Structure formats: C-alpha cells, structure tokens
Structure 1
Amino acid sequence: MRLLNTKTLKLEEFYADIPPYAILSHTWEKEEVTFQDIRNLKVAKRKAGYAKIQNVCARARRYDFEWIWIDSCCINKESSAELSEAINSMYQYYEDAVACYVYLCDVSIEFHPRNPKSTFKDSRWFKRGWTLQELLAPWNVVFLDKDWFRIGTRWTLRDVVSAITSIPVEVFEGRDINTYGVAQRMSWAALRETTRPEDQAYSLMGIFEVSMPPIYGEGGVKAFMRLQQEIIKISDDRSIFAWIAASSEHNEHNEHRGLLARSPYEFRMSGEVKASNSDCIGDRSSYSFGNNGLRIHLPLETIDDFSCGDDVFLASLLCQSERDGSFLSFYIRKTSRQQYVRCHPDQLAFRLTLQPALNNIQELSVREVPIARRSRFHTRVDVDLWNAVMYHADLLPSARHFCCTNTLSSPAFHSPNPSRVSVQLKRYSSPIYKLTYKTEVTGEAFTIRLLYSRSGDPPCYTLRPGDPPFEETLSVNPSRDDGTVVRLRSGAISFHCEVTGRSDRHLEIDFIDQDSLEIDFWTQTLRPPRSGFIVPSKMPLKARSRCDKTIQLIGAYPFNLYMKTFQDMAYIPMSPTDGDTALPLRILTYGTEDGTPAFRVLVGFLGPSSRTSWTEVDIGRETTEQVYQSYVNGSRADKRWLRQKSTWSILTHQGVLSTSVQERSSLQLGTHLLRLNWMSDF
C-alpha cells in the first residue's frame, strides 16, 4: 500500500505494519494530481487539484495524521497490475482507515443538510458509483463542504444520508451490511453512475466480498454478469434474481431473459426484498452454472390466466417482502424438456403463501464457510483499549460563553487555554467521569459523560442538558455516538468527536443560537415514510397532429428528501404527518420540457391511518402553495366527497386528461400506483 506523508507530500510503500492513516473520498474534478505528478511537486503545484491535496493534508495534520491515502495520486494507473490490485483492495483501504474525509466540492455549509435549501442532497458525490463503498466501508466518516468546513459525520447525519441514498439508517448505526440480502445491497447502487460502464460492477466487489480481474472494454453488462457469477459462488441467496427490467426495455425483442440482471438499475425496486430462506428446501438450495445455463431448483406453480399459455409458470424465489411478508415469484416459460427462460422480466408477482412442495429430488452439495474480514483499524482500537485514553474537550468560538465548572482534582486537567479541558480515562482506575458546563448569561448547563466500559468496548460519551446527579448518569445505557445535539432554552449544543492519528480524542462543542434559521434542522430526525406513490415522470402525448410532445414531472410539493426519480417514473413518499393530520397529500406539477406548467395532479389519503387513496386534477391559475393551503385549511378543506375519488377525468382545451390510483400489485416502491392518460388535441 502506498501512502502520502501529510507534511512532506512524499509517497512511501508499506507492505506490513501499515501505520494509522486518514483517507480522502471525493469526486474527480479537472486537473487532479496523479501519481506521476506528485513525485515532482513543481509539476503538481501547477494543477488545480493541488489545492485539494494541500487542504486535506492540512486537516489530517490538524488531527495528528502523518499519513493519508488519496486515490488520484497513490495509485500508479499506468500499471495495469497495480490498478487491478487497487480496485480489488479499495474497500479494504477505506475500511482500514482511521478517518475518512468526504470532500463535497459542490456543497456549502450555509444551510443544514436537513434544510430543503441545502445543496447537500444534490451533491454529485451521492450519485457516483465508487463513493458507495467509500460511504459504507469506513468506521468514521466526516463530511466537509467546498471550503473544507465540517458539515457533520455519517453518524450525526445518518437520517439525512439514509433519505438521500435509500440505505437503511441501521447500516450507519453499525449493522453489518452482510445481514442484508443481495437484492437490498444492489438497490443501494441502482441510481449511481460511473464514468466507465464496467465500473458499475467493479465498484461493488468489496460490498459483496468478491474479487475478479477488471477487464476494461468488456462492457458494463458483461462485467455486471461476471460480478453476479462471483457472488453466486459464495452465496445461495436467491434475492440476487429479484430484479425488474425497465419498462422502456420490455418489448418483443427482449421479452425473454435469463436469471441475471444486466445492471444495478434493475434492482431499483428491490430495497424491501429480504434474503431468501433457502433452508426450507435443504440441500436443493444450491445452484451452479453449466454450459447450458444456471442449474437451480425452483418451486413452480401453474397460472390461472389462460392468456399466458400453458407453458408459463410462476417460480418462487423463497424471498419475502419486508413491507408485508409477501413471497416473490417471477414468470418463466418452458422452451424444451428441461429448458426455461424468464418472461415478463418487468414484473415480480406477490404470493400470499409459499409455493407447492418440491418433488422429492435429492442432491448433495458442500458449502464453504466464509472467512470474515477484519479491519486493521479495529485491531488497533482493541490494542488501544488497554491503555489510558486522553479526551480533549474544546469549546468552539460560538460556545465560549460556557465554562467548565468541574473543581475535582481527578482526572480533569485545565490547560492554559480556557476553552480546553482534558480528561484521562483509565479502564479500571477511572472508568467514568462527567464534565459540566454552565453559562452566567442564562444559567443554563449541559453535561458530558465519559465512560470507559469494563466489557472491552471502545470508550463512549453522552451529552445531556442540565447537571444531572452522578447516579443518574450511571443509569444511562451508553452506545457509540460520534456526535449529538441537545436543546437548551437559548439554543442548542452540538457535540462531536474527531478521531486522530493517535489514541486521544478531540471533543468539539458548538453552540447554535435559538434565532438561527437552521436550529430546527440540527435537532430533528427524519423518519422514512411507510406509504407512497409511483408516478409517471414522463408522458408522451397522443397528439392528433404530427407534432408529438412530451409532458414530464417538473415538481412535487411539499418537498421530501425521500423522493426518487427514475428514467420513466418517480417515487413520491407520503407520511401521515404531511399536510394536516386529516389530509396527507402531494401536489405533482407536470409541464413541458422547457419547464412550463401544464397541469397539477393531487394525490393523497383520506387520513393519517387510512389506506384509501384519492386523486384530483387542477388546471387553475393559483400557485401550488395556494392550492395546497386550500386543501389543508382553506376553501376545499371540507370537500370530503372529493377525496374519495380514486379516478378523475377532466376536459381541457388541449384534450381529456384522466388519472387513477390503485394499490400496488407487483414489486414497486411505496404502496400505490398513479396512472395518467391524456388524449391531446395539440
């Protein structure tokens, strides 16, 4: 492994005893400094990317990191062997790092990420393929804005990051990603893009713990097929087959498919698919590739629909939906005695109960026990746990009207700097300690509790308002937390920990004034909605003239971070608290490609606990906000009869527009499907 010295900017090779290092995650911009450039600093300084290296090294040095890994200059990409090794080891590099600094060159700290005005959610970093593993692999992830100011950590922003990426928040709270099925993990990459199509597959190898040689030029589909074949070698999770082809690709020319997907995008609807319960079929859960296709045992059942033909069957994947427990099945067509193809690849059917029993076929298979990967970072932490840990609590400028009131001589040390207090924790002599801060301005106080667990876990810390009794702090169940926020009367205290290249910790305390427009975003937590609509994102008009036009979705109100846009459809989430408690609703604005509004479609539920949906079309001249308020508490608030309509038709001077809402009958995000049909007179 090659690391960059943060002081001298010299590269050095390490083959064993790799020192603690930080790592940079970023999106490539113009004139990045390469391996060849960094060996001649005069050349490197002429490039725009040199400022990025200077800034990240300065931050690393600030927290005592002597070494850092940067993909642009620590890999010699002119060597195909070295590039192949780096691609296969990339996940490990990020997993082993003590700290990962995520530089978001297109984000400003002006607004908190929970504020809809923030550009955090729109950052290009969340849309790139390689950054998925860079988000998942490290233990400590710090987000930095375009000016290198700290935005927050993966832990403190876990609800925001979960909303943006569709990755369950439990992953960022420490749940092992290997406990999620193949389809679920694939869905996290569905909307990400890479410069080279093959990298859509190569960037996922570490997430599935497989290796394969990169072959640039083989094409994205072939590379992704190879990735799935490698996953199948170590996993019998049949959710790998729980994908849905894009409806735009479903036609008479590609109706028949095999069992493997062609890209991560085909898993875009599979976030709720749990891993298969292969134990229910015993030894027959194994499957393998032969020269005539994938050999697998599939429970089949006939279809009552005669239009499908007597050669089409439903095959169960032994997978269930996390949402309602339904079993998933796909359609296959028999082409010869033992040969089948997948048909209707844009559908996965729901079945309420498990499939008919298998025939009594015996087949023996031998399964390898996977070897768990262990991060070198955690190995170092385990060693450090037996030593004393020094905490440095620093009041940032905004919080310096508070002062530490601790007067006990045990382990607190007041430095010459009045804004810093240091605490040394030892496992057995002083396993717990608390620091209380007060301000003379308002008399408010907050307490930091430091705890060194006797069970062998890493040290942890909690933040609470006031000055609770010592016994009360002992009763709190500690957990890993690298940042938290608590409300006070005059504002809020933000508290986070910066890891360093040494064993000590830097606790940084910030104050957010009550008058700050961002305070509510700092202190709230996002909750993923349980309901929602799949709606068309583009709609060709059936015009009577020769001039075909397209209407597309140009906005949804109120905004929600969990909204997703796909190639031909969009996901519009619906929370019980949207609008008032009586009427959750969304207003969808459709218009022409130049952004000119054409009409609005309203969708919603009768109440916060109701599953009854309704829809209406609005073509008036009121603003979207005015229409929304008229339904929440205005002129249309009491028209309950209107809300009970699941279909709607309206005649305009441009044609007839009809809408309908129905509950989902196939795998999709959300719970309902909105259909639009327009016969245009253009």
Structure 2
Amino acid sequence: MLVFIYYWRPSSHKSLTVHAWLDNSFFPFHNSRLLSLMRLLNTKTLKLAEFYADIPLYAILSHTWEKEEVTFQDIQNLETARLKAGFAKVSNACARARNYDFEWIWIDSCCINKESSAELSEAINSMYQYYEDAAVCYVYLCDVSIEFHPRNPKSMFKDSRWFKRGWTLQELLAPDYVIFLDKDWVRIGTRWTLRDVVSVITSIPVEVFKGRDINRYSVAQRMSWAASRETTRAEDQAYSLMGMFGVNMPPIYGEGGAKAFMRLQQEIIKISDDRSIFAWVAASSEHDENRGLLAKSPYEFRMSGEVKASESDCIGDRSSYSFGNNGLRIHLPLESTGDDDVFLASLLYQLVFRPTLQPALKNIQELTVRENPVARMSRFDNRPRYGSAGTVYHVDLLPSARHFLFTNTIPFHVVYPPNPNRVLVQLGPWSSCDYSKLTYKTQVTKEAFTIHLWHTGSPYYALHLGDQPIEKPSFLTDPSPDDGTVMRSDSGAISVHCEVTGRLGDQRLEIDFIDQDSLEIDFWTQTLQPPRSGFIVPSKVDSEGLNGQLIGVYPSDFYTKTFQDMAYIPMSPPDDGDTVPPFRILTYRIPGRFSSHVAIGLLGPSSGTPWTEVVVGPGTAEQVYQSYINRSRAGKEWLKEETSIWSDSFYGDGLVASVQERSSLQLGTHLLRLEWTYPD
C-alpha cells in the first residue's frame, strides 16, 4: 500500500515536501517512472518472459482481432495454442521478426493476461509506450493483397479494417518505424514510403509521417483523426486515445462510451488550456438537445481537422479553465444575439472580467498556478540506438533485381559473405571511414544506380541513378526519416527499403526492381495530392416518412470519406485545359420511388464555382455520369455557369438541391443541402 503525507507550512515560503510510505519503508518520493511488468514472446521458442528493467530490443505486432486469437492462457501450452486459428498469426509474426534478428516480440493477444483486471488496466495505460518503445512495428493486414499497389484504386489497402479500428490509431502514430504486411506476410511498404496514401485514408496530415510531433497539433485536430474509427467496447473509444494525449485514467468498463469520453476530456483539460477541445459539432440526431461544452464521442470532431490550437497567451491568466462540482468554469467573451436567453461566446477572444467582491471578501484572490507538463520519456531514450563499433549495412538484392551486378568501387569497406546477392559494408569507428558507395550495373544496357552510405553517429543512405558521386549527403539538406526510396529508371524503377533489425548498429537494405511493363509501376512512383476543395453532402434525406439514403458516389476515388450522417467529397477546381470540369454523381435510394441522382461539381478557376442538379428516374450512376460527358462532347454549352440547366437550386420530383459556401465548422469548401418539397 502507498501512503502520501503532505506537510503544510502556512507561514513558510518553502516548497511543499512530499513523502511516501511503501511496504513499511519511508523515503522521499521522486518523479520517476515506477517499474512495471512487460512480457515479451521469444521468437524462437514461443515462450513468454517477464521484464521489469533492461528490456531488450523488441518488435511489436499491430493487427485486428479475428476469431480464435491465441490468449495468454493458450500460449502457456503450445500444443493447445496450435489448435487455434490465431496461432498462424503468432507463428508468422515470430518468423518475420526472427528473420531480421529480433529475439523478442510483443503481441497484445498473448502477452497480456486479460483475466487480471489490474494487469489489463496497466496495459491499457501503457499501450502507447509499448508501441513507442518498439524498434519496429509490423502491421499485419489480413484483408489486403500485394497484388495491387496501395495507390491503385483497385487495391484493398485503403479499405482495410485496420484503418477503421480505434486502437490502431495509436499503433500507427507511436512507433518510429512501421511496416505494412499483406495477408501472406509480404511487405507492402512502410509508413514513410506510403505516407501520402496513409494520410489520405486517415486524414492525418502527411507532415506527421515525416516526423512532425503530434503535440504540435490542436486537441480538436487529433480528436478528428479518431472520428470515423470504431471499437468493440464503447468505452475504448476514449481509452484508446489516452496515449495520444499523454493522459492516464483507470478504465471502467460499464460506465458507457459518453461518460468515458467525458472523463478523457477532463483529463486533457487538466494539462492543456487549448480551447479547441470545445470545437465540435453534434451529430444531426442530437442537434435539438441541450448540451454542455464537452463532446460525447470522437465522432463529433469529424469536422475539426483544420481547427488550430487556441492562442492562450493573448488573454493571460484568464486562459485557464477547470471543472468544479457545479460544472466547467471558464472565461468567455459574450455577445448578445437579441434574445435575452441566447448569447454567442468566442473560444479564442479575451474577456475582461472583474468580479464584484463583498467587503468581507476583499482579501480573497483568484490565482492560477501553471505546472510544466511532464514529457513522456521512452525507456530507450538514454540507450544508444547504434553500436559503438559503427554501422554494418547488409545490402541485399531481391530476386527481381538480380540482373544488376555489384561493382565494388571502394574495396576495403566491403565484405563479401557467402551469399552472392548480399554485400556487407562496415562504416564507423572500426573502419575509420564514415562514407562508402555501392554501384550496380546491368551487363546488357549498362544501366546503373548507386547507393551512398554514411555513418556520422547514426546511419544514412541515399539512392541516385548512374555511377557518379553526389556533392552533398541528402541528410544534411533533408533530415527526414527516410526508410525507403523509389526512383524511375529507363527500364523500370529501383526501390531501396531499409529494414530495421534486432541487432544494434545493423541496417538491412533490400533492393527491389519494378519492370517498365508492370501495370503497377506508375503507382510506385507517383504521389497522391488530395484536393483542397470539396463538398459535405448528407447521407440521409428525411421528410414526413420519406427516408432517402445515400448509397453511392460515382466515380469513386481515394478521397471520398463516409461518416454516419454525412459524406465528404473532395474535388479539385478545373484546370485551364480540362474539357470536362470535375463532378460526381450521388445516388439516393428513395423507398417506393426511382433512385434520385444528384450531380455536384465545380466550374471556373481558383476555388471553383459550385453547381448541382437533380436527376430523377431509372438509370445507373454511371449512365447519368456518361450522359453529362456526352453532352460536353456534343459541343453544347452546358459548361457555362449561366446556362439554365446548371443552377444553385433545381426542383425535381419533390427533391431540392442547393449548394452553400462554407460558413461554419465543416470539411471542405461547400455544403450540399437536400430537402423534400411538395406541390401546392
């Protein structure tokens, strides 16, 4: 039992002294991390080991739970564990880690004893750190195949269940290195090489995957990243976000999702005065409810991805706010609306507030004492990431690239192992050299590429075509966390991937080649650029028993996002050379009637001028879309904004479509409104 004793000296200005009794011993209590239990699975023996300190390098697995996962109790008896369907996942994860010299791996399904409520609580509060401390995180996507590159719209990568789960958000953000693996455990790519795709799928700014600290984003922005994610237990929507905000609280299953999320926000408020935590929009079903300033779920932050942190310094001490037993206490500037009971309050403006004090209370003052936030410390922060002997590069030619031959230009740095497709390069203190280069050429075309290797305390590498030296190491001008590079060549594309290993100071570089004739080569070498304009459209149209439901958007693309009560359809304004301005066809199913198609699009340069039209009757969305294309090819002037068929409002079969420019907290630049009308 831990007992705290506080000594209060009213007449003294000395610091408050805190002591503690622990197991009958008396000692000053310091702000240090208490040792906690961590179990790791041995990748060779599949036996669990317990660690309290000196935790070894380990890999970690991120996955979505399926039927018959191997539990902590199962793994105690391997014969029992092998009978479960989930054993294949454990076995393959261990094999993958073992192949890259990791002796230990952490897997949530079998490394936590979930029958112990105390251990489960500790694990939930430590989960972010488990992933942050891991040398590498393997993301296993059981519903994705490497058949198509993730940038290919045909790929299932963007639709993977992993991107829709609540717990996997922190598993994406916390580790230094993240590798995506398909259903057959084949590498798809890394968080770095697929940063544009992952950003589009998750709505997390691509700068986060370039190494920008997530704490530089507002509370509302970080909440928005979780808006469309789901958890099996409602309370886990809150518990899965604790690590991202650097707070802790005991999980109480049974309290309900709204109450758990309320507690989470209260814990965040204790360490942050960022008022963006109040920048949320209620779901459409709750617009008429009387609400306080706190949201009920991450979903209510779905439109807050562009909300910046509040400028708390501009209002000084009045920026702080807190909870009392009668609610939230906060300073807000109020503006009258003309209604005696309704005021507008700004979250970011200063309010000059002077309470009227009774004579007997003149000596009472309101004080604000700020504490410096306690930074999360990794258990590996003080441990060298690279060996004192320097860096050993293991450079492997994968089968697709073995028509290239290695040319050794600096022989005394290179060691030739028995494997003819591998080269070892020692850089650093023992080799007395911090630079080397490896050149590969084909015998027939003489096409060449060069890998430049450095060691200046930590390893770096760069890839360029040809065999000439480069003037300056890339890390001196672009210190990005590059763990993979793809470059287009005359005959295809060269891919170099850096695989993290379990040996301190070792780096594994794997060279792949994508042939020019491959249908996927363009997807390997392009970068996705999400549009800045877009439409918020309703997912339902309800009026007097007629319930319309959005059932499709044509043509579909990476950028469309569907929520519970709306969809977001990003759309770029037309370029000068566009024959047909960009547009989409929305299909709403109306019970007892033909489906209604609603066309939305942008005309003109800059941000674009919106238009909309309702098309009622039979026909697929593709047929409606093609009819507009044909209308353009026929030379009709339907593209002009002033033509009568294109307007901000069009009536058809009782359905009214109108477009409004963004005027409040929402995604994109325009809002589509749909309403039923009835003839007089």
Is the 8 Å Cα contact of residues 551 and 590 (structure 1) preserved in structure 2?
no
Among candidates 167, 183, 188, match of residue 130 of structure 1: 167
**Pair 1:225 & 2:225 matched:** no
Unaligned runs of 5+ in 2: 1-37, 356-364
Q: 1:435 to 1:535 in 2, by over 3 A?
A: same
Aligned to 1:349: none
Write the letter of the residue equivalent to 1:488: S
Determine helix, strand or coil for the equivalent of 2:346: strand
Is the 8 Å Cα contact of residues 587 and 600 (structure 1) preserved in structure 2?
no
Q: 1:394 to 1:595 in 2, by over 3 A?
A: farther
Q: 1:578 to 1:85 in 2, by over 3 A?
A: farther
Partners of 2:332 and 2:366 in 1: how far apart? Answer: 13
TM value normalised by structure 2: 0.87
Is the 8 Å Cα contact of residues 589 and 597 (structure 1) preserved in structure 2?
no
1:551-562 to 2 correspondence within 5 Å? 551-562=548-559
Write the letter of the residue equivalent to 2:444: V
Q: 1:421 to 1:594 in 2, by over 3 A?
A: farther
Q: 1:137 to 1:596 in 2, by over 3 A?
A: farther
Q: 1:594 to 1:207 in 2, by over 3 A?
A: farther
Unaligned runs of 5+ in 1: 319-354, 543-547
1:416-455 to 2 correspondence within 5 Å? 416-426=418-428, 429-453=432-456
Is the 8 Å Cα contact of residues 583 and 606 (structure 1) preserved in structure 2?
no
Aligned CA-pair RMSD: 2.4
Partners of 2:103 and 2:233 in 1: how far apart? Answer: 33
Partners of 2:86 and 2:408 in 1: how far apart? Answer: 46
1:94-113 to 2 correspondence within 5 Å? 94-113=131-150
Q: CA deviation at 1:248?
A: 1.5
Is the 8 Å Cα contact of residues 637 and 643 (structure 2) preserved in structure 1?
no
1:292-307 to 2 correspondence within 5 Å? 292-303=326-337, 306=338
Is the 8 Å Cα contact of residues 138 and 179 (structure 2) preserved in structure 1?
yes
Is the 8 Å Cα contact of residues 573 and 607 (structure 2) preserved in structure 1?
no
Aligned to 1:154: 191
Write the letter of the residue equivalent to 1:494: S
Partners of 1:233 and 1:451 in 2: how far apart? Answer: 45
Partners of 2:61 and 2:572 in 1: how far apart? Answer: 36
Partners of 1:377 and 1:518 in 2: how far apart? Answer: 39
Q: CA deviation at 1:357?
A: 5.0
Aligned to 1:599: 596
1:389-404 to 2 correspondence within 5 Å? 389-404=391-406
**Pair 1:677 & 2:678 matched:** no
Q: CA deviation at 1:579?
A: 11
Deviations, residues 441-496 of structure 1 (Å, cap 9, x unaligned): 3322112122223xx5x322122222233436579724321011110111111111
Write the letter of the residue equivalent to 1:122: D
Write the letter of the residue equivalent to 2:177: N
Aligned to 1:491: 492
Is the 8 Å Cα contact of residues 494 and 512 (structure 2) preserved in structure 1?
yes
Is the 8 Å Cα contact of residues 574 and 582 (structure 2) preserved in structure 1?
no
Is the 8 Å Cα contact of residues 409 and 438 (structure 2) preserved in structure 1?
no
Determine helix, strand or coil for the equivalent of 1:259: coil
Aligned to 1:462: 462
Write the letter of the residue equivalent to 1:675: R
Is the 8 Å Cα contact of residues 649 and 658 (structure 2) preserved in structure 1?
yes
Q: 1:35 to 1:629 in 2, by over 3 A?
A: same
1:541-620 to 2 correspondence within 5 Å? 542=544, 548-576=545-573, 581=578, 583-592=580-589, 598-619=595-616
Is the 8 Å Cα contact of residues 144 and 150 (structure 1) preserved in structure 2?
yes
Determine helix, strand or coil for the equivalent of 1:433: strand
Percentage of pairs with the same residue: 70
Is the 8 Å Cα contact of residues 186 and 267 (structure 1) preserved in structure 2?
yes
Partners of 1:137 and 1:286 in 2: how far apart? Answer: 29
Q: CA deviation at 1:611?
A: 3.4
Q: 1:100 to 1:474 in 2, by over 3 A?
A: closer
Deviations, residues 181-239 of structure 1 (Å, cap 9, x unaligned): 11111111111111111111111111111111111111111111111111111111111
Is the 8 Å Cα contact of residues 574 and 584 (structure 1) preserved in structure 2?
no
Q: 1:517 to 1:239 in 2, by over 3 A?
A: same
Aligned to 1:343: none
Q: CA deviation at 1:250?
A: 1.6
Aligned to 1:321: none
Q: CA deviation at 1:610?
A: 4.0
Partners of 2:624 and 2:450 in 1: how far apart? Answer: 46
Aligned to 1:537: 539
Q: CA deviation at 1:149?
A: 0.7
1:50-65 to 2 correspondence within 5 Å? 50-65=87-102
Larger radius of gyration: 2
1:133-532 to 2 correspondence within 5 Å? 133-251=170-288, 254=289, 256-303=290-337, 306=338, 309-318=339-348, 355=349, 358-360=352-354, 363-380=366-383, 382-384=384-386, 386-426=388-428, 429-453=432-456, 456=457, 458-471=458-471, 477-479=477-479, 480-503=481-504, 504-532=506-534
Q: 1:578 to 1:14 in 2, by over 3 A?
A: farther
Partners of 2:494 and 2:526 in 1: how far apart? Answer: 13
Partners of 1:41 and 1:72 in 2: how far apart? Answer: 15
Determine helix, strand or coil for the equivalent of 2:170: helix
Aligned to 2:33: none
Is the 8 Å Cα contact of residues 575 and 584 (structure 1) preserved in structure 2?
no
Q: 1:386 to 1:646 in 2, by over 3 A?
A: farther
Partners of 2:213 and 2:592 in 1: how far apart? Answer: 43
Aligned to 2:24: none
Is the 8 Å Cα contact of residues 533 and 607 (structure 2) preserved in structure 1?
no
Determine helix, strand or coil for the equivalent of 1:659: strand
Determine helix, strand or coil for the equivalent of 2:451: strand
Is the 8 Å Cα contact of residues 6 and 60 (structure 1) preserved in structure 2?
yes
**Greater alpha carbon shift after TM alignment, 586-595 vs 663-672:** 586-595
Q: 1:648 to 1:223 in 2, by over 3 A?
A: same
Q: 1:608 to 1:148 in 2, by over 3 A?
A: farther
Deviations, residues 410-429 of structure 1 (Å, cap 9, x unaligned): 31223332211111121693
Partners of 1:126 and 1:221 in 2: how far apart? Answer: 22
Q: 1:646 to 1:670 in 2, by over 3 A?
A: farther
Partners of 1:615 and 1:20 in 2: how far apart? Answer: 57
Q: CA deviation at 1:593?
A: 7.6
Partners of 2:180 and 2:640 in 1: how far apart? Answer: 46
Partners of 2:672 and 2:474 in 1: how far apart? Answer: 53
Partners of 1:143 and 1:371 in 2: how far apart? Answer: 32
Partners of 1:475 and 1:106 in 2: how far apart? Answer: 36
Deviations, residues 532-554 of structure 1 (Å, cap 9, x unaligned): 00011122355xxxxx4433222
Is the 8 Å Cα contact of residues 584 and 625 (structure 2) preserved in structure 1?
no
Q: 1:467 to 1:641 in 2, by over 3 A?
A: same
